[in-house]
């Protein structure tokens, strides 16, 4: 507290009041600065929670849209900018590089799948800064039907994650596209990011297996059956272990005598659950007229082993359905169609002999 000497009080009380007010103002300003500084988080070595957060994330991509749409460059990168718009924080904009990826969707879709090169972007968040390249799945076209396809594919990743942590995590996006050359009008669509394989491997204490000599026999049996039955459930026969078609193979770093690996599925657009308009049955698969027809491609096991494998799917049924029913971005008819398709699988499981016959009749001997 500031006090004034008595002999000054009669003549200078107003001066002392000014001094007191001035000192109080300085203290208030210092306090405000301190509080303002502490309100801004130090993001260095902190996670952006890119794949831990399930809320939809808004991003903006600014790059040469005309070249992307016309040439679909897979080798040369396009210069661009990415802006993350976290819900309760300031936007983060960095220079990045962009190119297309994929095979079928690259050729067929108007908007080709995208690879974002974030190397040296220096976001100041540990998880973002650990990512060199990351896959983004955009809509195939600008239609609402195409939006539905990408949303359902996103949900299939989420459903598989219900069963195991050894799965690719995904983050749903609203993507604002801005043409850096000002030749195209801005537009916004859905999309999602797929966890990089390196991040998945580190998270599960494993390494990628690149050898092409691996078959389903080299995968832990319960894990291989889980992949095969899940793909059957969602109506996916567009996968194979030996040539790594829509399958990644990881080897746990923990030692055991079996020397087996783990299969991780991805790329679910060609499934009966998505039922994309561009997905037509493979000529090599006889007897199918639509991708809604299920085909079991798992390795042959005994009926007892299959019955044991199906227990997990019965246990996870409600969680699968909750992933769908609690999703905010599909309408009720779309959700009902997904659940009805999955119910066909569970109806087969009710009469266990029926689904066991399906498995034993079409399984693969490796």
pLDDT band for position 23 (cuts 50, 70, 90): very low
Average pLDDT, integer, range 136-146:
97
Is the predicted pLDDT of residue 335 greater than 50, yes or no? yes
pLDDT band for position 44 (cuts 50, 70, 90): low
CA torsion through residues 110, 115, 120, 124, sign: positive
**What is the pLDDT at residue 280?**
85
**What is the pLDDT at residue 11?**
42
Tell me if 289 sits within 8 A of 205, measured CB to CB: no
Is the predicted pLDDT of residue 76 greater than 90, yes or no? yes
Is the predicted pLDDT of residue 122 greater than 80, yes or no? yes
Average pLDDT, integer, range 29-40:
35
Is the predicted pLDDT of residue 45 greater than 80, yes or no? no
Is the predicted pLDDT of residue 352 greater than 80, yes or no? no
Lowest mean pLDDT among 13-22, 74-83, 218-227, 302-311: 13-22
Write down the residue that tokens 């952006």 correspond to: 48
Higher-pLDDT residue of 289 and 23 is 289
Round to the nearest angstrom and report the end-to-end CA distance of the chain: 87
* Domains of the chain, residue spans: 57-196, 205-362
Instruction: Quote the distance between the C-alpha of residue 217 and its chain's center.
Output: 28
Average pLDDT, integer, range 202-219:
94
pLDDT tens readout for residues 158-200? 999 999 999 999 999 999 999 999 999 999 999 999 999 999 9
- Reduced to 3 states (helix: H, G, I; strand: E, B; else coil), residue 61 is strand
pLDDT band for position 22 (cuts 50, 70, 90): very low
pLDDT tens readout for residues 314-325? 999 999 999 999
Is the predicted pLDDT of residue 7 greater than 70, yes or no? no
**What is the pLDDT at residue 286?**
60
Percent of the chain with pLDDT over 70: 87
pLDDT band for position 288 (cuts 50, 70, 90): confident
Instruction: Show the CA angle centred on residue 242, arms to residues 241 and 245, nearest 5°.
Output: 55
Is the predicted pLDDT of residue 96 greater than 60, yes or no? yes
**Total residue count of the chain as it appears in this document:** 366
Tell me if 266 sits within 8 A of 167, measured CB to CB: no
**What is the pLDDT at residue 257?**
87
pLDDT band for position 144 (cuts 50, 70, 90): very high
Average pLDDT, integer, range 11-19:
41
**What is the pLDDT at residue 281?**
81
DSSP for 136-200, please give it.
EEE-SSSSHHHHHHHHHHHHHHHHHHHH-SSS--EEEEEEEEEETTS-S--EEEEEEEE--HHHH
Average pLDDT, the chain: 88
**What is the pLDDT at residue 222?**
96
Lowest mean pLDDT among 42-51, 98-107, 138-147, 210-219: 42-51
Is the predicted pLDDT of residue 100 greater than 70, yes or no? yes
**What is the pLDDT at residue 111?**
98
């Amino acid at each position: 507290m500031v006090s004034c000497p008595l002999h000054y009080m009669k003549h200078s009380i107003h001066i002392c009041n000014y001094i007191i007010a001035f000192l109080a103002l300085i203290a208030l300003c210092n306090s405000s600065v301190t509080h303002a500084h502490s309100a801004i988080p130090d993001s260095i070595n902190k996670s952006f929670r890119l794949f831990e957060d399930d809320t939809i994330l808004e991003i903006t991509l600014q790059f040469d849209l005309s070249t992307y749409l016309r040439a679909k460059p897979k080798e040369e990168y396009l210069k661009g900018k990415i802006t993350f718009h976290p819900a309760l924080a300031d936007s983060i904009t960095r220079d990045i590089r962009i190119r297309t990826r994929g095979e079928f969707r690259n050729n067929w879709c108007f908007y080709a799948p995208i690879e974002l090169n974030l190397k040296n972007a220096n976001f100041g968040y540990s998880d973002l800064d650990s990512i060199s390249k990351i896959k983004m799945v955009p809509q195939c076209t600008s239609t609402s039907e195409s939006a539905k396809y990408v949303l359902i594919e996103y949900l299939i990743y989420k459903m598989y994650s219900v069963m195991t942590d050894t799965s690719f995590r995904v983050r749903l996006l609203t993507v604002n596209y801005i043409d850096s050359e000002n030749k195209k009008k801005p537009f916004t669509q859905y999309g999602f990011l797929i966890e990089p394989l390196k991040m998945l491997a580190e998270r599960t204490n494993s390494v990628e297996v690149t050898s092409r000599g691996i078959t389903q026999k080299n995968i832990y049996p319960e894990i291989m059956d889980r992949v095969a039955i899940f793909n059957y459930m969602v109506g996916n026969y567009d996968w194979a272990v030996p040539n790594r078609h829509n399958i990644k193979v990881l080897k746990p770093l923990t030692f055991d005598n079996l020397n087996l690996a783990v299969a991780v599925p991805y790329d679910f657009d060609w499934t009966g659950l998505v039922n994309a308009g561009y997905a037509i049955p493979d000529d090599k698969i006889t007897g199918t007229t639509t991708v809604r027809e299920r085909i079991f491609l798992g390795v042959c096991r005994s009926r007892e082993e299959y019955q044991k494998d199906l227990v997990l799917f019965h246990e996870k049924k409600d969680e699968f359905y909750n992933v769908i029913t609690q999703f905010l971005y599909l309408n009720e008819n779309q959700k009902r169609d997904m659940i009805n398709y999955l119910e066909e699988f569970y109806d087969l499981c009710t009469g266990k002999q029926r689904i066991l016959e399906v498995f034993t009749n079409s399984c693969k001997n490796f």
